[in-house]
A and B are shown apart, each in its own frame.
Chain A
Amino acid sequence: MTQQLSLYEPKISEVMKNVNKVMVGKEEVTLLSMVALLAKGHVLLEDVPGVGKTMLVRAIAKSLDCEFKRIQFTPDLLPSDVTGVSIYNPKEMAFEFRPGPILGNVVLADEINRTSPKTQSALLEGMEESSITVEGSPVPLKEPFFVMATQNPIEYEGTYPLPEAQLDRFLLKLNMGYPTAQEEREMLSRTSGDHPLTKIRAVMTKDELLDIQNSVKEVYVDDTIRHYIVDVVTATRDHDGVYLGVSPRGSIALMRAAKAFAFIQDRDYVIPDDIKYLAPFVMPHRIILTSEAKFEGYTAERITEEILEQIAIPVQRNRHE
C-alpha cells in the first residue's frame, strides 16, 4: 500500500498541476474534483456560466488521456440523446447502436437542471449503476466514468430542479466562484496567446487511473474515524432545522471521499481532518431543511458547519474496546 502510494502520488500531483495550468486560482476545486475522480464519484458544480466549469472538466479529461464527452442539457433533450440510439442501417439490414455522450470517460453534463426529469434520470441511472438501458438491454458504461454536472442557480425559472434522491448521487457538490481580480488578470495573460488547454498533455493513462481508483479503496479507516463519521452524519438527522438528514449513503460517500482525499495527501489512513474538510462538500446537498429553518435564514452549509463545531474529535483509542 505504501509503495503504491509513493508510486502514484507524483502522478496525481502532476494531473493537478496540469489542470492548474489551465485554471487560475481554482486549486481547491481541482483537488476536490480529483477526490471525486479517485473515489469513483461524481461532481455537481453549481455556478453561473462562464467561470470555467467546462474548462476544468476538459483539462481533467485531457490530463487523463480519457475520452471527453459533453452533453448540453436543454428542455427538449430526450433520453436517447444522452444514452445513444439504434439506427437502421439499410446497408447492413440491421439496427446499429450509435452510442450517446454518456458513453465517454469524462462527461460534462452542462446545465443539468434545464432538462426534463426523464432525461435527467437517464444520466443519473448511468451514474449510479455504471450501465444504461438502451431499448431494453443493458449497455455497460466505460471505465473510468466520471461525470461533472453543472447547474445554474440563478436560472431557477423554467428549470427542473434535481430531486433530492438524485442529488444524493453526486459525491461532492462544489462552487467555482468568481476569480479574484488578480486571478482574472492572470487568466487574461494566459489566454492571450494559445489557449493553455491546447498545451497540456496527458500525464496519466486510463489504466493507471483505474489502478489508483482501486488502491484508494485500500486506505485504512480506523474505528475511531468511523465513529466520528457516524457521529457527524447522525447529528444532521437530529438537528432541529433539518427536515431530512444525511442518509447512510451519505456516510458511505463521506468515507469514500475521505479515503481518496487521504490518498491524494500521500497518506494511507484517514484522519479526522479529512472528514472535517470534506463534510461541507459531501453533506449539504444531502440535507433538506424545514421551511421554518429556511425562513430563519438557515442554509444546509451553515448547519453542517454547526455540526462540525459541536462534534468532538476522537483523540484517543477507546479503552473499553
Chain B
Amino acid sequence: MRGENQQQFYYQLILYICGFLLFWEWMRPLEKVTDTENITVFIIFAAFSFFISFLQVSWWLSMPLKLLGLVFILDGLFLYERLFSKEWFLIIYQQFAYNIDLILNQQWGDMTAFFRSFLFLVLLWLMSYLLYFWFVIAKRIFLFVLMTFFVITIMDTFTEYNGQWAIVRTFIIAMIALGVSSFSREMEKEGISFGGMKRLHRWILPMAAIVLFSTAVGFASPKPGPQWADPVPYIESAVGNSGGNGPGGGSIQKIGYGENDSELGGAFMRDDTPVFRVAAKKERYWRVESKNHYTGKGWEDTLEEDIRVANGGDLGIRTFTDEVETEEQYSLVNFNDDVQLNKLVYPYGAAEVVSYPEQFQFLVHQPTGEVETQVNQKSRQIPGYRMQIDVPSYEYDQLREAGENDPREIRDEYLQLPDDLPGRVENLTEQIIKDEDNRYDRVKEVENYFSTSGFEYNTEDVAVPGESDDYVDQFLFETQQGYCDNFSTSMVVMLRSVGIPARWVKGFTGGELEDTDIELEDGDTYNLYQVTNNNAHSWVEVHFPGIGWVPFEPTKGFSNPTDFYVDTDDLDSSSNEDNSEETDTPDTESPNQQQEIEEDFDSDESGAAASEEGGNFWNYIGLTAALAGIAIVLYVTRFRWMSAFLKRRYKQSEDPAAYQNAYHYLLKVLDNKGLKRKPNQTLREYANDVDRHFQTNDMKVLTHHYERMLYRNEQQSDQWRKVTELWENLINKALS
C-alpha cells in the first residue's frame, strides 16, 4: 500500500514537472517580445510557487510563503529602501495608490514596472494552483498542451521570437506528460494497484521509444515551406500602421502634440519619438496653433471657421504688425516618416513656404494660425519644406507704450473666461500687477510670478481637476505643481481676469541641438535641431495694440527664445535697471537648462511607450489572444475547478447556508450538463429525473435532506455531513 502511494506520488511529480516545463515555454518568449527583464527571477518564482502548490500544505502556510517570495522579488528588483522599513512601506503604498488610480482611469499603458511585475507574479502564483489542478487532480493535460502549441506558434509567427526549439521541447514534454497521465488514469480506472506493477520498464520503455521515435521522425522529416504567405505584413497593411507613435494621441497619457485640449491635467510620460528636424539659425519655438476659449477644464477653439487656401506658399499668418522690426531668415523643416501631424510647424514671423512638394496645399485657419497640409483635399503629412521667416524683434519701450486700446474683435474673443472662475484668481493677479503701470510690465510680473512663488515643474504628480474644480484655480492655489499646460493656461487666465487679451498657444520647443554650422543649398550655415514628442509645449501670447501678439513663457525652467531689444535712442529716457536685465534675454537660449528639465520628465520606462518597433502591436495581439484563450478555457472548465474548490469549502462548513449553496451549485452543474430543472418542477420531481438519468438514488436522498432544511427549517448541519458524499458523487457523475 505504501509503495503504491509512493509510486503514485512519483507519477504526480512527473506530471507536475511536465506542467511546469510547459508553463516555462510560455514565459520564454516574454523576454524577447516584451520589455520584461530579469525573466529568470520570474521563472524561479514560478518554480517556487509550483513547488509549494505540489506540497499541498494548508493555505495558511502556502499563502504566506508565496507572498514572502513575491515581496522579496519585488524588493530585490525595484526597492532600494531597507526591507520592511517605514519608507519601504511608504513606497509600496504609493506605488499601489498611483497604479490603482491609473487602472481606474483605464490608463493601462502607464502602469509602473513595479506594479506590472507585481501583477505578473500574482498571475504566476495563480497559475501554479491551476496547473496543479489540471495536471494532478483532474489529469487533464491535453488542453494545456494544445494551448501551449498555440501560443508558441502565434509567438513564432507574429513576433521576433523563434519557436523552432520551443516546439520540439514542448512536443517531448507533452508526449511524456500525456503518456504518464493516461497510464495512471487507466490504472485507476481498472483498479490495478501500482504496487503490482513490478516491471516498470514494461511500459516505460515503450513510451520512451515512442516519444523518441516520433520526435526523431518529426525532426528529420522534410518540411514544406509555408502554405500561406506570411500573414503579418498583409494584416499590417490592411489595418494601417496603427501601432502608431505619439502624435495626435490623447493629451493626457503621453507627451506629444495632441488635438484635444478640452480636458487638461494628469500625468504624462516621456516619449522621445522624433517628430521633425529643423535647420535654423537659432533655437525657435515652433508654433502650431492657438486656442481662445477656456472652459475651466481646458481649451477649445470656438473661433469662426475662417479657413482659406493659402496662395501658393504665402501663408499670411503673421502675428504682429509692421511696426515690429524683423530680420529675414530661412529655415528648413523635415518631418519624420511616420509622423501624422498633418500641420505646419513654423516659427514666429513665418512669411512664406518657399519650397515644398508640389502636390501639397495649405489650408490656413487665420485666427488660430493653424495650417493644415492637404493633398487632394485630404489631410496628409508633408515630408518637409523650406520657409522664409521675418524674425521679429520686439522693442521694450514700444511694448510699454502700446497702451490698452485693443480692437473690439480682440477684446471680444480673448478676454473670455468661464463664469464660474473663482474670484481669487483675479484678486491674486491684481495683487501681482498692482505696482506696474503698463501692460508689458504687468505681463512680465505675472510671468515672473510663477518662477518666484514656489511653483514646481512636475509631470508625474499632476492633478486632474474634479467635477467642481477649475483647472487654473486648482493649480494656482492647491497643487502648485504641473507642466507647461498648467503654467501657460494659468497665465492666460490671470491676464484675462485683469483685462489683458491673451491666448494659449501650442507647438514645440526648439528641440535638441544636433549639429552646428551645417551648410545648406543657399550657402548659409545653420544649426540642426531634433524635435521629439518631448518637445511638445504650450505657452502664452499677449496682445499689444499696434504691435500684435507677443509670446511669453511662464513655465518654470523654460525660457522665451523671442528677441527683445532696447532701442538705444531711447536708452536715456527709459529705466536702466530693467533693461540691463532684459537685454540679456535676446540671445539667451538655454538648451542646457532645457535639457535638464526634459530629463526630469517622467523617468518611468514603459515598454509600449519606449519601443519603436511596430511589432509591439502584434505582441499585444498575441498576448491578448493567449489571455483570451486562458479565459475561455477557465470558463469552459469552470465547473471542474470550481467543484474541486467548493468541495473542500463545503466539507468544512457547518452552516446550513453552505448546504443550500452546495445543493444549488449541484443544480447549476447538472443544468450545465443538460439536466435542466424547469422552474415549475419541484425538487422531488427533478431528483427523480436526475436519478433516472444516472441510475442512482443519490439525488433523491440528497434532495430529501435538502427539503428538510428548506421546507422544515431544520438547522442541524449534521444532516449535511451525512450526504456530502452523495453530493460529491453526483458532481463527479455530472462532470464525467
Interface positions of A (Cβ within 8 A of B):
220, 222, 224-225, 268-273, 276, 308-317
> What is the minimal beta-carbon distance from A30 to any residue of chain B, in angstroms?
22
Interface contact A312-B679, CB-CB below 8 Å: yes
Across-interface contacts of B682 in A (CB, < 8 A):
271-273, 276, 313
Q: What is the interface residue range for chain B against chain A? A: 10 to 19
Interface contact B679-A224, CB-CB below 8 Å: no
Interface contact A269-B712, CB-CB below 8 Å: yes
Interface contact B685-A273, CB-CB below 8 Å: yes
Interface contact B707-A313, CB-CB below 8 Å: no
Q: Is B684 an interface residue (CB 8 A)?
A: yes
Q: Give Cα distance in the complex from A309 to B682, angstroms.
A: 11
Select B713's contact among A220, A314, A316, beta carbons within 8 Å: A220
> What is the minimal beta-carbon distance from A28 to any residue of chain B, in angstroms?
18
Report which residue of B684, B711, B713 has the largest number of chain A beta carbons within 10 angstroms of its beta carbon.
B711
- Contact status of A269 and B708, CB under 8 A, knowing A222-B713, A316-B660, A317-B660: yes
> What is the minimal beta-carbon distance from A126 to any residue of chain B, in angstroms?
35
Across-interface contacts of B660 in A (CB, < 8 A):
316-317
> What is the minimal beta-carbon distance from B510 to any residue of chain A, in angstroms?
67
Across-interface contacts of B707 in A (CB, < 8 A):
271
Interface contact B711-A225, CB-CB below 8 Å: yes
Q: Give Cα distance in the complex from A225 to B682, angstroms.
A: 12
- Contact status of A224 and B680, CB under 8 A, knowing A316-B660, A317-B660: no
Interface contact A269-B680, CB-CB below 8 Å: no
Q: Restricting to B662-684, which residues have a CB under 8 Å from any CB of A?
A: 664, 667, 677, 679-684
Q: Give Cα distance in the complex from A290 to B370, angstroms.
A: 78
Q: Is B63 an interface residue (CB 8 A)?
A: no
Interface contact A315-B710, CB-CB below 8 Å: yes
Select B664's contact among A224, A225, A312, A316, beta carbons within 8 Å: A316
Report which residue of A220, A272, A312 has the largest number of chain B beta carbons within 10 angstroms of its beta carbon.
A272
Across-interface contacts of B680 in A (CB, < 8 A):
308-313
Interface contact B685-A317, CB-CB below 8 Å: no
Closest to A319 in B: B657
Across-interface contacts of A268 in B (CB, < 8 A):
712
Interface contact B712-A222, CB-CB below 8 Å: yes
Closest to A309 in B: B680
Q: Restricting to B611-668, which residues have a CB under 8 Å from any CB of A?
A: 657, 660, 664, 667
What is the interface of chain B mostly: helix, strand, loop, or mixed? Answer: helix
Q: Give Cα distance in the complex from A134 to B685, angstroms.
A: 51
Across-interface contacts of A311 in B (CB, < 8 A):
680
Across-interface contacts of B713 in A (CB, < 8 A):
220, 222
Q: Give Cα distance in the complex from A83 to B664, angstroms.
A: 57
Across-interface contacts of A308 in B (CB, < 8 A):
680
Across-interface contacts of A271 in B (CB, < 8 A):
682-684, 707, 711
Closest to A223 in B: B713
Across-interface contacts of B685 in A (CB, < 8 A):
273
Closest to A276 in B: B682
Q: Give Cα distance in the complex from A204 to B654, angstroms.
A: 44
Interface contact B683-A270, CB-CB below 8 Å: no
Interface contact A224-B712, CB-CB below 8 Å: no
Across-interface contacts of A317 in B (CB, < 8 A):
657, 660, 710
Using an 8 Å CB-CB cutoff, how does the interface string of B78-103 with A read, 1 for contact, 0 for none?
00000000000000000000000000
Q: Give Cα distance in the complex from A225 to B711, angstroms.
A: 7
Q: Give Cα distance in the complex from A268 to B708, angstroms.
A: 10
> What is the minimal beta-carbon distance from B199 to any residue of chain A, in angstroms?
55
26 residue pairs from A and B, CB less than 8 Å apart? A220-B712, A220-B713, A222-B711, A222-B713, A224-B710, A224-B711, A225-B711, A269-B711, A270-B711, A271-B684, A271-B707, A271-B711, A272-B711, A273-B682, A276-B682, A308-B680, A309-B680, A311-B680, A312-B680, A313-B679, A314-B710, A315-B664, A315-B667, A315-B677, A315-B683, A316-B710
Across-interface contacts of B710 in A (CB, < 8 A):
222, 224, 314-317
Q: Give Cα distance in the complex from A143 to B707, angstroms.
A: 35
Across-interface contacts of B711 in A (CB, < 8 A):
220, 222, 224-225, 269-272
Q: Give Cα distance in the complex from A309 to B678, angstroms.
A: 9
Q: Give Cα distance in the complex from A222 to B710, angstroms.
A: 8
Closest to B667 in A: A315
> What is the minimal beta-carbon distance from B719 to any residue of chain A, in angstroms?
14
Select A313's contact among B657, B681, B708, B712, beta carbons within 8 Å: B681
Report which residue of B664, B681, B682 has the largest number of chain A beta carbons within 10 angstroms of its beta carbon.
B682
> What is the minimal beta-carbon distance from B191 to any residue of chain A, in angstroms?
38
Closest to A270 in B: B711
Q: Give Cα distance in the complex from A122 to B713, angstroms.
A: 43
Closest 3 interchain pairs by CB?
A: A312-B679, A269-B712, A273-B682
Across-interface contacts of B664 in A (CB, < 8 A):
315-316
Q: Give Cα distance in the complex from A273 to B680, angstroms.
A: 10
Closest to A308 in B: B680
Across-interface contacts of B677 in A (CB, < 8 A):
315
